[in-house]
Amino acid sequence: MTTYPSANGVSRRALLAGTAAALIWTTVSRARTVTGKLPWEANAGEPPQLVHPGPWVFFSPEEGASIEAIVDRLIPPDAQFAGGKDAGCAVFIDTQLAGPYGSSEGLYMRPPFLAPTPQQGDQNPNTPAQQYQRGLAALDAYVKKAFVGKTFRELTEEQQDTLLKGLETGRVQIDGVNGSVFFALVLKDTKEGFFSDPVYGGNRDMVSWRMIGFPGARYDYSDWISRHNERYPLPPVSIGGRVDWTRKG
Amino acid sequence: MRQYAKCTVFFVASLLATDIARAQNGGQEFAQIERGRYLTVMGDCVACHTADGGKPFAGGLTVETPFGALISPNITPDPATGIGNWASADFLRAMHNGVDPAGHHLYPAFPYVYYTRVSDQDALAIHAYLETLQPVVNKVVSNQLPFPFDVREGVAAWNEFNFVPGLFRPDPKQTPEWNRGAYIATGLAHCGLCHTPKTASGGDDNGHYLQGATLEGWYAPNITGDKRTGVGNWSLDEIAVYLRDGHNSIAAASGPMREEIENSSSKWTNDDLRAIAVYLKALPGQDRTVEPVADDTPTMQAGWAIYVDECSACHMRNGEGVPRLIPALKRDPAVQQDSAVSLIRVVVQGAQSTQTMHAVTGPAMPALGWKLSDEQVADVVTFIRNSWGNAAPAVSASDVKAVRADLARRGG
Amino acid sequence: MARKLPAKDVVIIGLGWTGSILAKELTDAGLQVVAVERGPWRDTATDFSTAYVQDELRYRIRHDLFLRPAQDTLTFRNNARQTALPMRSFSSFMLGNGVGGAGIHWNAESFRFLESDFVLRSHLTERYGAKMIPENMTIQDWGITYADLEPYYTKFECMAGTSGTAGNIKGTKQPGGNPFEGPRSAPYPTPAQAQPYGPALWAKAAKELGYSPFPQPSGNLSQAYTNTYGIEMGPCTYCGFCEWFGCGNYSKSSPQVCILPALVRSQNFVVQTNCEVTRVNLDNTGKKATGVTYVDASGEEWEQPADIVLVCAFMMFNVRMLLNSGIGKAYDPVTNDGVVGRNFSYQTWSTVTGLFDNQNFNPFVSSGAIGYCIDDFNGDNFDHSKLGFFGGGYLGANMTNGRPLQASARVPKGTPNWGAAWKKAVADNYLSSYEFNQHGSCYSYRTNHLDLDPTYKDRFGRPLMRMNFDFDQNELRMAGYLTDRMAEIVQKMGAREIQKYPRTGPYNVSQYQTSHTCGGAVMGTDPKTSVVNKYLQSWDVPNVFVVGASAFPQNAGYNPTGTVGALAYWAADAIRTQYIRNPGPLVPV
């Protein structure tokens, strides 16, 4: 897996900038008057920040362990393709929750928060970060009680699947948290982690793209538009590149 | 000294002649000023003599030289801080000999080495135009060079090696159009300032006239008639259109050439554009045989993978780009220069192409330096330099590293 | 206290498609124009870089290019019995942000409306009788005909480089084109795009069933093109990152690609970005605009005086601007009085998913407006006498992309939502599934309208706009009908499994269903039922023009942008050739 170059000033700046919001590199755009010619600056743009494997940035170790176990049931490993855990879905969720998604940045979060009709969209005053913390705590409490002191990770796969199904349908109630809403949130984020570009920490080695046959972050299929019902031969590529970009030998 | 005296006599004589001419042809003063305006555009005086955000021709731009920085002087007709007190003879002496009215040497960052070829008539027309500008009070201390370079007398020694004064002499064996092109190129357009490599002392290496040179972090390409690296494969029309629009069906100008085109050659007459095209294309090529890097090498394989993933959506799999929008890489001389500095720079930090009246689009290339390692940049650049019939020396990771360091030093 | 700026001839609120078109036309006519755009400057190589634009998470899921609800949003309720609640994030429709507006992130599906669409009430009355039109269906004629607008459709298409096959040139039907379309004065500027496998197979089936498939008119260009402003465009490379994304290689029609490079070169033009117009200022008669007030990114207030004010802020914010500025009488659905906010409509969008065996559609080889369509069930192209609804839409095999997260929804019915079976089903069906769509009209109703919310405020303390909307039974019956017709075609294609997803009620803001919101400041011949006259000039304040889909009295069975663009050129012409010579109402009140 190609990593962004570590030997030049730009990437060091990226690493130092922290894990939160998208990297602002240089932007041509903010609050300006435009007249006369198209503005342009070297190195302008906002590439995505590459997520490096490492310690949890949002989850506590216990939360992280639970999430890893959960994502590995939602998308289980099989002989051919990794499951949610090895695909990095938990890493993805961890990074996302530490960033603007986790804090509902950019959403309209003014009160009052009233109960919606089913058509009025999410009115939850809790951010995803808060929902995960509460949801995992409530799930943890439930498991401790129902399984005599165990954590989710320590349950058997069958027990985990049954519990997750119960959360999903509402058959299992956890304290103070709507279990099926929490389940839907985790499932949504797990799938996003599975299918999004590996630069975000999930879809490690482009496993989901290889699984389905999606060629990734490409932009040119001009030679393919008229080739009907033929298998596309090139391997997937991430925004961060692919192994073939590196010289062999 | 004797040289100087002769010149003085010559200048006084010609000055009188000019004054008489002016007196007899008072009605031609408008025509002279208009011609002077055109020639000033051709010489692109405004580019160096205007600070960023400053008043035109009022000086203040820092010019980088191998010896240190200079600041361009104010050439508006302000008597105290500009050249308002200069007589015509003074102006001619500056243009032709690189000397100011007090007899001090001007630094050759002012390209008198080229302007010496400009006819008296043209130089005086430029002077007449400059005299019509609004005088701007802007005191500039040009000389910012460190010791010992700040000692102007040193330029005299430099001139001994690097300066052959004298007006342009037409070649009777050539057509008038060629001669016009030669007059422009060797004079006001001062192409060699950028496109001719320099000797250790900073003078023109005339053995490699217009064969390409590095400056300001760019490589100004070969513009002789060489078929691989110069304009030899372009029609006269393509050359002229490139200089007028900044785009032809193959190439797009960016960097300092973009400024040249937008400020200067986009405003030349069609005849002048064609004349310089004739001249450049007729310059003999070097016809070096270069073996392309083989396809089955690791470099080319990696380069191909990067190209097909990152570059082909604009530059196309066949390297032909989109005429007048995306430059071709196939057979593009810019891609096959000895030095790949410009290519590396463009890949790393992106580039914006020229916007002119006939080519308003101004497409830009995104920056890729953040996602490609030095070796990957080297490989994709080597790939484009050696595909589709191209042939040029390979690029190494350390070449790329050097360019990045240079760009960082420049604040880019 | 707002600081006053030097006066300009024209101030334009918003620099999207309509703002850019009007800015170009009016600067070319010699007017001094300032555009005020509340979002940032955006340009191709810096903001839609081919090095990182192929990012489903960032642009499709996290909505990176779109308006942030924290900056502005709406409240919503289906009907007056409910309390409207804010759209805290956007799902159903997406609102543009920045220079280029929705012209950046659209698919570039570039349709013209049918001739009958412009005279809808007259046409339906004539064919079916006035009694057949429900009393609460407030459809209207536009005040202009297709023939009036035709030269401006052509103008838009020649600026945009639209790729297509004409179906009717000056009255003569053309093979391969849409036989139902109104006559056009010229062929499309570029030929139709080459088509991928899925649409080709669908078109074959449609033809076998007796329909007339035609290539979708596309602003993803089939080849390089130099447009009417001398701007170069490139050929689309079928990247499959079209709608929700900016185009990285100059091949999708947008203000960035088609207008701005020429526009910024004009000495008469300047745009202030990251500056939000908060109101149009009126003099003390209330009948003349003196300019606008805007707030810059630092919170400073500025007053921009101008002789002409163009409201080009996208349909939603056009209406809001009028309500905030006191231009025109706000609509009250109870008394049926007033016009601003009235006749708000949307799009009735349905889909059919087909799962196939032994077919490889390479769904990632696609573009936003590629594909084939049939108009056999659009507008009044088919007999409605016994159907129990009016309206229709195009049926299209025009799946725009193969982005994996979206695609993972295409699994057999009964597949669990997660687990091993889900994983396998996604893998098995990705290449061989296809989503088809039915793009139905949405008529106007007495109770579907926009007004101001009594509770929720924006960051300036102004009331949010409130959307009162639900689908009428008319639209839902029509959606069911179109979906059944589509399913028949997909059956003919040989699908192993067909899943029908007709639009059902109540309208739900959580499901994406196009951004084609319309109306609220409709055009017409009668000030009692329209906000602007046929030239999109305000009846109440003649030096204000309101340009966008806000002018549509109801929505037709097509994507709106082609018509929005044509109306922009039409209004520009009226301003250039009539208004500035003789400022005042262009149509007697």
Q: Could you report the per-residue pLDDT of B41-58, keeping only the tens digit for each?
A: 999 999 999 998 899 999
* Domain range for A134: 56-107+123-249
From the number of C-beta atoms within 10 Å of its C-beta (0-12, 13-18, 19+), residue C527 rates as middle
Given this model, what pLDDT does residue C556 score? 98
> Are C139 and C444 spatial neighbours (Cβ–Cβ below 8 Å)?
yes
pLDDT above 70 (res A90): yes
Q: Is C267 on the interface with B (CB under 8 A)?
A: no
The catalytic position among C105, C123, C439, C516 is: C516
Q: Which residues of B touch C46 (CB under 8 A)?
A: 350, 364, 366
User: Is C89 within 8 Å of A107 when comparing Cβ atoms?
Assistant: yes
Q: Is B249 on the interface with C (CB under 8 A)?
A: no
Residue A41: inside a domain, yes or no?
no
List, as ranges, residues 252-311 from B with C-beta within 8 Å of A. 298-299, 301-302, 305-306, 308-309
pLDDT above 70 (res A12): no
Q: Chains with ≥3 Cβ pairs under 8 A against C?
A: A, B
Average pLDDT over residues C387-414: 97
User: Is A220 within 8 Å of B312 when comparing Cβ atoms?
Assistant: yes
Q: Which residues of B touch C237 (CB under 8 A)?
A: 313
User: Is C196 within 8 Å of A161 when comparing Cβ atoms?
Assistant: no
Average pLDDT over residues C247-267: 97
Given this model, what pLDDT does residue C583 score? 97
Given this model, what pLDDT does residue B279 score? 98
Q: Which residues of B touch A233 (CB under 8 A)?
A: none
Taking only the tens of pLDDT, chain B with its 412 residues reads 334 344 444 444 444 444 444 444 444 688 999 999 999 999 999 999 999 889 999 999 998 777 788 999 999 999 999 999 999 999 999 999 999 999 999 998 899 999 999 999 999 999 999 999 999 999 998 888 888 888 888 888 889 889 999 999 999 999 999 999 999 999 999 999 999 999 988 889 999 999 999 988 999 999 999 999 999 999 999 999 999 999 999 999 999 999 999 999 999 999 999 999 999 999 999 989 999 999 999 999 999 999 999 999 999 999 999 999 999 999 999 999 999 999 999 999 999 999 999 999 999 999 999 999 999 999 999 999 999 999 999 999 999 999 999 999 987 6
Chain C: residue whose CA lies nearest to A239? C52
Average pLDDT over residues C156-179: 98
Cα(B79)–Cα(B93) distance, integer angstroms = 18
pLDDT above 70 (res C183): yes
User: Is B366 within 8 Å of C45 when comparing Cβ atoms?
Assistant: yes
CB atoms within 10 A of CB C366: 29
The tokens 């361009």 sit on which residue?
B72
Average pLDDT over residues C283-297: 96
Among residues C238, C558, C205, C202, the alpha carbon closest in space to that of C400 is found at C238
Cα(B401)–Cα(B404) distance, integer angstroms = 5
Cα(A209)–Cα(C433) distance, integer angstroms = 16
Q: Which residues of A touch B313 (CB under 8 A)?
A: 218-220
Max alpha carbon distance in chain C (Å)?
A: 72
Between A14 and C410, whose confidence is greater? C410
Q: Is A116 on the interface with C (CB under 8 A)?
A: yes
Q: Could you report the per-residue pLDDT of A134-146, keeping only the tens digit for each?
A: 999 999 999 999 9
The tokens 């900038």 sit on which residue?
A17
Q: Which of B317, B342, B371, B409 is the mutation pick for testing A, counting most A CBs within 10 A?
A: B371
Residue A204: inside a domain, yes or no?
yes
Residue A71: inside a domain, yes or no?
yes
pLDDT above 50 (res A20): no
Q: Which residues of B touch C258 (CB under 8 A)?
A: none
Average pLDDT over residues C279-304: 96
In the A/C pair of chains, how many CB contacts fall below 8 A?
246
Q: Could you report the per-residue pLDDT of C48-78, keeping only the tens digit for each?
A: 999 999 999 999 999 999 999 999 999 999 9
List the beta strands (DSSP E) in C82-210.
85-86, 168-169, 172-173
pLDDT above 50 (res C301): yes
List, as ranges, residues 463-522 from C with C-beta within 8 Å of A. 506-510
User: Is A43 within 8 Å of B350 when comparing Cβ atoms?
Assistant: yes
ipTM summary value:
0.95
Residue A160: inside a domain, yes or no?
yes
Cα(C541)–Cα(A200) distance, integer angstroms = 51
Residue A113: inside a domain, yes or no?
no
Q: Could you report the per-residue pLDDT of C553-562, keeping only the tens digit for each?
A: 999 999 999 9
User: Is B374 within 8 Å of A5 when comparing Cβ atoms?
Assistant: yes
Cα(A84)–Cα(A68) distance, integer angstroms = 8
Cα(B285)–Cα(A209) distance, integer angstroms = 51
Q: Chains with ≥3 Cβ pairs under 8 A against B?
A: A, C
Counting residues of chain C whose pLDDT is more than 70, the rounded percentage is 100
Q: Which residues of A touch C195 (CB under 8 A)?
A: 225
Assigned CATH class of B298-409: mainly alpha
Cα(C66)–Cα(C16) distance, integer angstroms = 13
Q: Could you report the per-residue pLDDT of B137-147, keeping only the tens digit for each?
A: 999 988 888 88
pLDDT above 90 (res A28): no
Residue A1: inside a domain, yes or no?
no
Instruction: Report the run of H or E that residue C516 belongs to, with start and end.
Output: none
State the average pLDDT for chain A: 88
pLDDT tier, A4 (very low <50, low <70, confident <90, very high otherwise): low
Exposure string of C371-399, with b = 16+ CB inside 10 Å and e = fewer, is: bbbbbbbbbbbeebeeeebbbbbbbbbbb
Q: Which residues of A touch B317 (CB under 8 A)?
A: 220, 222-223
Which amino acid is residue C150, in one-letter code?
A: E
Q: Could you report the per-residue pLDDT of C437-469, keeping only the tens digit for each?
A: 999 999 999 999 999 999 999 999 999 999 999
Q: CA angle, corner C55, sides to A46 and C93, nearest 5?
A: 100
List, as ranges, residues 54-73 from A with C-beta within 8 Å of C. 73
Q: Which of C68, C88, C272 is the mutation pick for testing A, counting most A CBs within 10 A?
A: C88
The tally of domains found in chain A comes to 1
Q: Could you report the per-residue pLDDT of A122-177, keeping only the tens digit for each?
A: 999 999 999 999 999 999 999 999 999 899 999 999 999 999 999 999 999 999 99
Q: What is C3-579's CATH superfamily?
A: FAD/NAD(P)-binding domain (3.50.50.60)
Alpha helices in C430-555 (DSSP H): 473-493
Cα(C271)–Cα(B161) distance, integer angstroms = 53
Is C105 marked active-site?
Answer: no
- B178-282 architecture in CATH? Orthogonal Bundle (1.10)
Collapsing DSSP to helix, strand or coil, B253 comes out as: coil
Contacts of C89 (CB under 8 A, 6+ apart): A107, A108, A121, A122, C63, C69
Backbone angles phi, psi at B356, to 5 degrees: -130, 175
Counting residues of chain C whose pLDDT is more than 90, the rounded percentage is 99
Q: Is A221 on the interface with C (CB under 8 A)?
A: yes
Contacts of C81 (CB under 8 A, 6+ apart): none
Given this model, what pLDDT does residue B28 score? 61
Collapsing DSSP to helix, strand or coil, B135 comes out as: coil
pTM of the model: 0.94
